[in-house]
Chain A
């Protein structure tokens, strides 16, 4: 039905309705007059006949109302009438309305904001057709869950499985684009021809990668990302067929991929074929090499996740038997793609949802309490309406309309607040949270806020409405001038609501307290290095021009010596990788080789002599590397204290020899490295993240194509950064420095998500306490108001003001004590669920529980004290005259 047609039918009903109304009047008048005439005819005097007719007929208005209700069209009419009445009632009580709408706006706004974040990150599907059929594949071993995939394994998976309609392997890299203006570092994604069929993404210009492009020796071709095409080439379509120089090699541009991709794919600049690295990465001899390759696959129609997992498990077992040396006890992880992307943020987001949900519950309890108090004031109004023929259902409907109108007003204001809050949340979120840039109020957010407003209105309105409708007409009307007295069930409900508010806010406070403590401990934990006053930057050497170890070794030496010449530098060096390490298996000389497939692994990084000093690592024993540890001298390494603890518990590790090539081949000796130093353990991935044992080797003995500069300096970072940049350019203008930033910023990123969730949960907890405090205050103030007369009598009979004070405060504290007890029990159970998010503090930390209990009791005391003092100041004369 169109809107117009609907309007017409409504108008028709309304017109019919007014005719029905007058007909009904005429009919009832006819009845009345007929009856009166009959009575008069039978000898009853006129005025007495009229009285008797009215009496015997019963309530005229009630009859009319019942007649109206037999017609269906009454619903819309009734609703409009209810709405009009509600708005009038709310406008008459601006104070009440303002408090209620603001409370709701805060609660609904916070909920909507968090929902809009959750919607964008966890719920919205990825931007591909039938995205739910996409899975993420990685290898799994006990030492390294989520390990990257060996190219040869991927090839076998692809040829042996029957569950995927297509698969794509990919690897991310940074490369240097030279030849067109200044050399620029760009983000490259190496992909296979399965990219387009798997994700169902077509290029917006040119063609996509074909299986022929994946063949070894095929012509070098590249696709551009839409963002890069726009930024660098101004969307020039003639770019197709032109040449780009990537890492000193010429590539032909064949197409442009759209920016409608997920996550880091969207910000990828260039796409080339992964198989160009086949010689280095693929092949049987490289099955033990896991070079950062992962894969997406699309499930065949009719195949579910469990079937795919079963099939891949079988294939993994088969490969283990065929290649025990490299594969050992490896397995394959198959995860829905969306789940794999949002894995890390799911738990903190769910905690936030629970926290805002609690805030909303408290707001509901507050509103229910306000409405209960108001219903008591409106006792007589309700009784009068009932006497005039309103049925119980009508009264409940009317009062529910009022609360829903309130909730919708609060929701509208809340939606505006939500836009602002979610922008602030997104702004405060750490970089690296997946899909954060997709947060925007879409129709689901609108639907959510509408639904939550309606549900809230009904939820907090239903109990007070049912209560109020139980009004006893006779009693209410019989009572003298004072507003009616609350029934005991109404009082019980109010008490229960106050206790519930105390319980919920206690749970929130405990949660926020535990998370804040975790943050404090994370910020003050020893990370094993000192990030302040350290500047970092990354570089990557073009493979072609820096072929051979000597060239890259010379580059590093030259670079470091030029940096060290800059005034203000305390120590400078190169480390690869910057934080963390390459995972590698290792063996110790003189001990049996580990069982195949179960090698111990360590994080392994290459450092130039001063890099460890620049990073602020602590030497425990032995020495750091120096310029004598080079290609010509004995191979050496430094290990960390956790490796010592793990492998050298009963003997001195200094002077022992370790190798990282565990199975170099028959008849070949592993390249042993002598341990020359022991350093403090470095928490590479953030102090609250798991870390592995660590090993460091001189970069001169193991050169590599890329690395990060670490410069410890004194003075201003701005002038310093530009001199560092020019120092690098003087070594080789084709090697750009990128991601130049203080080490402290990188470290802070690790704690950013924790800081944000602490900030938000604390904000929600404070909001909850404020609302609960308002709730306590409201109930106690109401109580004192109700009992003014009783207090006056007590005072008149000789009660002291201290007695009164004690009476009121005791009553208030008894209520909150019940709530706190329930809250403590609830917190003990619920905190168990967030124990994974805590660091250095137990979920049942007694200090937090005690502190929060004291804090909440103080809030309750303050909320009770103000009304209690007012009660104690009651003048008995006035109180008694009040009646």
Chain B
């Protein structure tokens, strides 16, 4: 395959792959409640994830070490275990939310309750991980995720006041009737959705397993630098259509169907069908990534064999952990806990664990004994440190704000 084609494929996969149930829920929810006043958070999140994804991929390409190898080596067994426990817990709950998201998309398409779809979805995720060639699958759902471009189409067809939207986004202000703490709470939720750690676990583990050298790193940088911002733009488009259609009518997003309402209004039934394909692909793809990430983190901490390309008998402990996390996540979503609420909670709670994951990456990216001349340049350090401060702030504010606002009421 020509290099240009493969890079394009990578970028397109990154766009669709950027969005999962976290962005779908928080994007439309904040658009409906706060207009575009939180669009800047998406921008911040995109910058942060670009930096840390690139660093973790660079570390993987140069040293052959994935994120949790680094965490264990740099933080040691005790702090590393604390990090592992938090990350694994967040991973499992995120997996439950993604499975719920897939099931909700199927419910919207079929009128059959999402609870009945959940077991089927779980089995499907397992079958893909167990048997099907992962590389091809990744491209398929990545490209199908592009169906979410229907958000952009819907936005254009709604003929919004572009100037007004731009003003809202560039002059962030808490809308009248909403409290400041709630606004900041949802800022953390949006930020959390953009930089959920499973993305870096998955990205760096894939880089190690596929044996990336500096050459693949260049292509990966293209994916990251072009794909993630476009994914962020897609999230803002979703926010915008919610702002245009739902906010004036005071409609809040409690169910995934409401997230799709603006598309129905602007593009009609065909638009909704396309959107559901996109929902399905984005959440299903994410579910696979999160399930694998649960295995990656534990296997890397303990020094087990791991790999999505390995046959299960070659990495039995790794696949057992993935299976276990899938079972627990499925059980969690079957308790009939509201999947949308669960998503809101997990993106905020995962913010608490962020610094533990991102700090070691920044440290190792600076280690010249490890990376030689591939260590961070000054400008990247400056930016990444600023981001780390933001990440730390979000992590410290998450729980207090959750309590103060009663989880965003």
Whether A and B are associated in the same complex: the answer reads no
Give chain A's interface residues, CB within 8 Å of chain B. Answer: none
